[in-house]
């Protein structure tokens, strides 16, 4: 049994719901939030303790895992503090906002012999399990192209939270806070990015950070992808299309859990559609979102085969955001990986 402390009762509330689905693997014993009433309101027969100071979690010898659901500017320092305290860590996105800080987290994790699990819950859901099954069955062939739409609506109410929309607090805009999960899905399913070009702008809200972007990716395997991002849409919608050599996979428009709703999987050769349909029918149902994310972590902690998100997955995501911001500011085509001599290696804050 892993004893958990959740830091932050905002998105932490969704984490708590997922933990409740895995009572044999996790026991949430502490929730920390400066607004203790907000944390208390999460009770639903739970016996967790509520505190208003992070030190309570760090100093508790019974806590095995710290789940960081705090504003982005706190992710790096609190992750390092948790590792130094001998705790494993789950950290909401972004893990960091500088490759240099990723290196510091990597070193701290190595020294403490502890594990860091960056949060990418979009990877889980029945439709994404089906797509992975099709890839494993050899029915997709090589990646060819992909298109990603992160078209959401964010206005004054969202930015009423003081740290949002600022470089100091949110650490980035729509590229970092909204499209990051979809970009992770791109690399998770089609492979790493070798180079990219990008435009970012602020057109929707009176904020410091970007709320619109257009990005083109060249993957290491030669495939090409585009990403269209806006926070000025009429509603929150995410659309994903992955075109492989032998199959096209197309999502619905579910914004926060794209793998939950049914996708279409169409064979390029109609004669092979029955093979595709047979794999789809045989793929077991799979948990969605945070429940799937935590299931994989539970399997990892039990020493069983798993697909848990790794620290290196988080590092790749930070590298991708670094490259996007550099490309947008310079107009250059930026290649990856991001090495220590890169001008934004120490951070992308302007």
Please, where are the H alpha helices in 140-196?
174-177, 180-190
303 occurs within a structural domain: no
309 occurs within a structural domain: no
pTM of structure = 0.96
184 in the same domain as 75? no
Please, where are the H alpha helices in the chain?
12-20, 36-40, 54-58, 75-84, 99-112, 126-136, 174-177, 180-190, 273-282, 289-301, 311-330
182 in the same domain as 153? yes
243 in the same domain as 139? yes
Task: Identify whether the C-beta of residue 146 lies closer than 8 Å to the C-beta of residue 190.
Answer: yes
Task: From 79, 102, 121, give the residue that closes a domain.
Answer: 121
171 in the same domain as 258? yes
36: containing domain: 2-121
117 occurs within a structural domain: yes
Task: From 121, 145, 165, give the residue that closes a domain.
Answer: 121
Q: Both ends of the chain: CA-CA distance in Å?
A: 44
215 in the same domain as 100? no
Q: Kindly state the tokens that stand for 297.
A: 């972590």
The reported pLDDT for the residue numbered 327 is 98
134 in the same domain as 204? yes
CB atoms closer than 10 angstroms to residue 110 = 11
Specify the CATH number for the domain of residue 103: 3.40.50.720
Number of domains into which the chain is organized: 2
Distance, in Å, from the CA atom of 24 to the CA atom of 156, rounded to the nearest integer, reads 42
Q: pLDDT of the chain along its 350 residues, tens only?
A: 999 999 999 999 999 999 999 999 999 999 999 999 999 999 998 999 999 999 999 999 999 999 999 999 999 999 999 999 999 999 999 999 999 999 999 999 999 999 999 999 999 999 999 999 999 999 999 999 999 999 999 999 999 999 999 999 999 999 999 999 999 999 999 999 999 999 999 999 999 999 999 999 999 999 999 999 999 999 999 999 999 999 999 999 999 999 999 999 999 999 999 999 999 999 999 999 999 999 999 999 999 999 999 999 999 999 999 999 999 999 999 999 999 999 999 999 99
90 in the same domain as 108? yes
CA atoms within 13 A on the CB side of 222: 4
- Give the position of tokens 């806006």: 230
85 occurs within a structural domain: yes
266 occurs within a structural domain: yes
261 in the same domain as 117? no
263 in the same domain as 181? yes
Comparing C-alpha atoms, which of 105, 28, 11, 21 is closest to residue 66? 28
Distance, in Å, from the CA atom of 4 to the CA atom of 89, rounded to the nearest integer, reads 10
186 in the same domain as 86? no
């Amino acid at each position: 049994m892993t004893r958990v402390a959740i830091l932050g009762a905002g998105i932490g509330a969704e984490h708590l719901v997922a933990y409740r689905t895995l009572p044999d693997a996790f026991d949430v014993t502490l929730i920390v939030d400066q607004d203790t009433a907000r944390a208390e309101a999460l009770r639903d027969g739970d016996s967790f303790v509520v505190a208003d100071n992070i030190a309570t979690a760090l100093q508790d010898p019974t806590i095995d895992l710290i789940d960081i659901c705090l504003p982005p500017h706190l992710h790096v320092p609190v992750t390092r503090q948790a590792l130094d305290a001998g705790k494993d860590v789950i950290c909401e996105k972004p893990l960091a906002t500088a490759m240099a800080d990723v290196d510091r987290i990597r070193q701290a994790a190595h020294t403490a012999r502890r594990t860091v699990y960056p949060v990418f819950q979009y990877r889980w859901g029945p439709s994404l399990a089906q797509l992975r099954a099709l890839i494993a069955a050899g029915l997709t062939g090589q990646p060819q192209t992909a298109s990603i739409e992160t078209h959401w609506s964010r206005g004054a109410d969202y930015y009423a939270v003081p740290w949002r929309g600022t470089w100091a607090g949110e650490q980035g805009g729509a590229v970092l806070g909204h499209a990051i999960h979809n970009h992770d899905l791109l690399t998770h399913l089609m492979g790493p990015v070798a180079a990219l070009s990008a435009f970012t702008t602020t057109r929707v809200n009176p904020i410091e950070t970007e709320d619109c972007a257009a990005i083109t990716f060249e993957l290491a395997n030669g495939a090409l992808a585009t990403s269209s991002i806006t926070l000025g849409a009429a509603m929150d919608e995410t659309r994903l299309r992955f075109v492989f050599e032998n199959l096209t996979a197309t999502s619905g428009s579910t914004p926060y859990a794209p793998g939950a709703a049914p996708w279409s999987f169409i064979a390029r050769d109609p004669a092979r559609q029955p093979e595709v349909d047979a794999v789809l029918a045989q793929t077991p149902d799979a948990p969605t979102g945070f429940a799937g994310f935590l299931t994989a972590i539970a399997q990892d902690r039990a020493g069983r085969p798993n697909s848990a998100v790794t620290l290196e997955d988080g590092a790749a995501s930070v590298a991708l955001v670094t490259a996007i911001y550099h490309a947008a500011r310079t107009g250059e085509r930026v290649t990856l990986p991001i090495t220590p001599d890169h001008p934004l290696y120490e951070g992308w804050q302007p």
